[in-house]
């Protein structure tokens, strides 16, 4: 299992963190195993569906070789519920002072969400240098993040939202980006068809994206 001894390692584990929405609990373990087989032993399972917390628990119990995290953490109450279910890291789409304090006290790595300079500065002011940039494409994309590197040199980002296999390299080439979040690795039609080989193939392609940047 990948180590998460600090937040910096969370951004350095894989070039693409699979961002997964599951509606069927029976898909949890197979999709996690497919991602591991493809070379991406990390999964961010979003808390957008009724089965999300159960899915985290199932993956944590049955696929110990993957690092399972909870995404779309939108309230302080969800922090404790996610960690109790087995989440090993937390990701929020945005950040409030209360949510940031709760995540900081959770005992697991976390990526608070930011979309503006002011939000990134507030997270930095709280002593957190690793954060999510969301929604990436709608908020200015790679060009926007490039413009933040000079005024906010301490900030490092995991941009998520609208990123594809074609656009990921432009983000990964930036000095202030450690990884990207991608939902294209687990398309809904592949999940519905239980096409785990397709998920594995998409994961294998994503695992090699960083090398195409020349970094």
Neighbours of 158 (CB within 10 A): 25
Adjacent-strand bridge partners of 70: 45, 90
CATH 3.40.50.970, domain 7-210, yes or no: no
What pLDDT score does 2 carry? 52
Instruction: Indicate the burial class of 137 (C-beta count within 10 angstroms; 0-12, 13-18, 19 or more).
Output: middle
What pLDDT score does 5 carry? 44
| Residue pointed to by tokens 């999709």 | 31
Chunked into runs of 10 residues, the chain (215 residues) has average pLDDT values of 53 96 98 98 98 98 98 98 98 98 97 98 97 98 98 98 97 97 97 98 94 45
Q: What are phi and psi of 73, to 5 degrees?
A: -80, 105
Alpha helices for the chain (secondary structure H): 7-12, 28-37, 52-62, 76-85, 97-104, 117-125, 141-148, 168-172, 188-192, 196-207
Question: Of 142, 64, 56, which is closest to residue 91 (Cα–Cα)?
Answer: 56
Q: Considering the candidates 54, 130, 132, 205, report the single residue annotated as catalytic.
A: 132
Neighbours of 191 (CB within 10 A): 20
What pLDDT score does 113 carry? 98
Q: Considering the candidates 44, 54, 125, 205, report the single residue annotated as catalytic.
A: 44
In the annotation, is 125 catalytic?
Answer: no
Question: Of 151, 173, 201, 150, which is closest to residue 159 (Cα–Cα)?
Answer: 173
What residues does each domain of the chain span? 7-210
In the annotation, is 44 catalytic?
Answer: yes
């Amino acid at each position: 299992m990948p180590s998460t001894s600090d937040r910096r390692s969370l951004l350095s584990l894989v070039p693409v963190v699979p961002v997964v929405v599951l509606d069927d609990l029976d898909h949890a373990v197979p999709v996690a195993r497919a991602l591991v087989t493809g070379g991406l032993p990390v999964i961010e399972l979003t808390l957008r569906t009724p089965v999300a917390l159960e899915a985290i628990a199932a993956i944590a119990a049955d696929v110990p070789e993957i690092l399972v995290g909870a995404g779309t953490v939108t309230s302080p109450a969800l922090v404790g519920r996610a960690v109790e279910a087995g989440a090993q890291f937390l990701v929020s789409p945005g950040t409030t002072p209360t949510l940031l304090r709760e995540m900081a006290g959770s005992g697991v790595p976390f990526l608070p969400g930011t979309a503006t300079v002011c939000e990134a500065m507030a997270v930095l002011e709280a002593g957190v240098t690793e954060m999510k940039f969301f929604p990436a494409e709608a908020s200015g994309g790679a060009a926007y993040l490039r413009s933040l590197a000079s005024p906010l040199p301490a900030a490092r980002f995991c941009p998520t939202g609208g990123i594809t296999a074609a656009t990921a390299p432009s983000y990964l080439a930036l000095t202030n980006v450690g990884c990207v979040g991608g939902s294209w690795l687990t398309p809904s039609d592949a999940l519905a068809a239980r096409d785990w080989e397709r998920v594995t193939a998409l994961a294998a392609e994503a695992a090699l994206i960083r090398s195409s940047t020349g970094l």
